[in-house]
Amino acid sequence: MATRWRLKNLNAAGRSHPELEFRTIIEHGIAGFVLSREPGTTGPLSRWPSSAADQNELMLLPAGTRTNFPQRIENLLDLGTRDWDLLQTLARLLANVLKTPAALKTPADFQPALLRNGLDKLRQIFEKFPATLRYDSVSLKREQVNPDYEHLWLRVENLAFGDKRWPEFEFRLSCANVRPNRFGTHPKLEFPEESSQAAFDAWFIESYDDFGAKLELRFALPESMDLAVWQRLPENDRAFLSALIKRLPAMLGALQGAGAQLKRPWGDWKNMALEIQRVLASHTAPPPAPALPTPMQAAVTGAAPLTEPTPAPPSAVKTAENPSTKTASKTKAPKRVPTPKTQEAQK
């Protein structure tokens, strides 16, 4: 069942929406939201997820088939900080409104209890949703290209992880030991003291360069990373770094989508980000969890549902009648560690 909604004069997540239109749907008994945009805009969102850069409709539903479930989960993971707040606000607002459905202008066959139950299941999933690094925007502060070293200095605004938020955060994605026709074998993450320390519980000076003190986490392909630095960090900081590394490809995709120009192909940086993910996972990933039987459990853990949904009969969907020029100093060599019916409702 799909329901089209139109809300007027909504103030939520730090933004004012004179009029906001969206659809709710229900699959596997779980409610979801569908947001739309005009091409080239972000629609009702602060940042349209890079996971749906080529789409003008965004499905926000933590359930689906083996085919579409990964994309739907990535859409949720890639929502910005304020947009995640907006989604949860909409879910709570509708749940409260549906307690007194008679106050709504709805078609005669509208089923408020069905949607209310679906929203309750959605709330349960959101409460157990994995901690995710979110941000409203990312920009390129500078690109540095030396004969043997390159970096992208990234600036992130309204960063959030768990219950913590930071207005600004900066870090550098870099690569050492660059040679002609060789890039990406010695990636690093650099966290300058002045612009990134606040996000860590126990930031420490690991090394220096011409920009000052920094915490640095080095990798060396194919399988090594600096475990001495990693193990010195407390659990909260390791969780933060893991979440940041998980979102690296999406951040680069957002930068590319915004039109940022680099001297090196974007693919080189994206591939390096994926390699960082792979190496970190090889040293830190827990044993795989067993397959879970229900879509809701699968949504919480990130595993694909085990069954395909039964297609709804045609009658189930009705159409509404109305509707700096400084050069970084020489970096330390990486420490190698062996191992490895659409109905319309208005409020």
Q: Answer whether 152's CB lies under 8 Å from 187's CB.
A: no
157: in domain:
yes
200 and 145 both lie in a single domain = yes
pLDDT tens-digit map of 84-104: 999 999 999 999 999 887 777
169: in domain:
yes
Task: Give the helix, strand, coil percentages of the chain, each rounded to 5.
Answer: 35, 30, 40
Instruction: Tally the residues of the chain.
Output: 347
Kindly give, in sequence order, each residue whose CB lies less than 8 Å from that of residue 187, ignoring residues fewer than 6 positions away: 173, 174, 175, 218, 219, 221, 272, 273, 275, 276
191 and 117 both lie in a single domain = no
Confidence at residue 321, expressed as pLDDT on a 0 to 100 scale: 32
Confidence at residue 319, expressed as pLDDT on a 0 to 100 scale: 30
90 and 162 both lie in a single domain = no
62: in domain:
yes
300: in domain:
no
- Cross-strand pairs, 154: 140, 171
339: in domain:
no
Shortest CA distance to 340 belongs to which of 162, 221, 243, 249? 221
Confidence at residue 303, expressed as pLDDT on a 0 to 100 scale: 43
Query: CA-CA distance, 170 to 140, in Å (whole number)?
Result: 10
Of 64, 93, 127, which residue is a domain's last?
127
158 and 272 both lie in a single domain = yes
Query: CA-CA distance, 339 to 225, in Å (whole number)?
Result: 10
151 and 256 both lie in a single domain = yes
Q: What are phi and psi of 296, to 5 degrees?
A: -65, -45
Confidence at residue 341, expressed as pLDDT on a 0 to 100 scale: 39
pLDDT tens-digit map of 48-83: 999 899 999 999 999 999 999 999 999 999 999 999
155 and 255 both lie in a single domain = yes
341: in domain:
no
110 and 153 both lie in a single domain = no
115 and 206 both lie in a single domain = no
Q: DSSP label at 94?
A: H
Of 84, 101, 127, which residue is a domain's last?
127
105 and 147 both lie in a single domain = no
Total number of domains constituting the chain = 2
Q: What is the pTM of this model?
A: 0.81
Shortest CA distance to 176 belongs to which of 328, 12, 19, 70? 328
266 and 142 both lie in a single domain = yes
DSSP annotation string for 213-278: EEEEEEEETTTEE-HHHHHHS-HHHHHHHHHHHHHHHHHHHHHHHTT---SS-HHHHHHHHHHHHH
6 and 115 both lie in a single domain = yes
Q: What residues of the chain score a pLDDT lower than 50?
A: 292-347
Shortest CA distance to 205 belongs to which of 195, 192, 186? 192
Confidence at residue 289, expressed as pLDDT on a 0 to 100 scale: 53
Question: Cα dist. 3→26, 107, 224, 309, 316 in Å?
Answer: 9, 10, 51, 19, 11
Of 261, 284, 307, which residue is a domain's last?
284
74: in domain:
yes
Confidence at residue 221, expressed as pLDDT on a 0 to 100 scale: 97
Confidence at residue 109, expressed as pLDDT on a 0 to 100 scale: 76
Kindly give, in sequence order, each residue whose CB lies less than 8 Å from that of residue 122, ignoring residues fewer than 6 positions away: 30, 31, 32, 62, 91
Question: Cα dist. 273→189, 258, 262 in Å?
Answer: 10, 19, 16
Q: Answer whether 211's CB lies under 8 Å from 192's CB.
A: yes
Domain that holds residue 26: 2-127
111: in domain:
yes
Tokens of 287: 């044993």
143 and 279 both lie in a single domain = yes
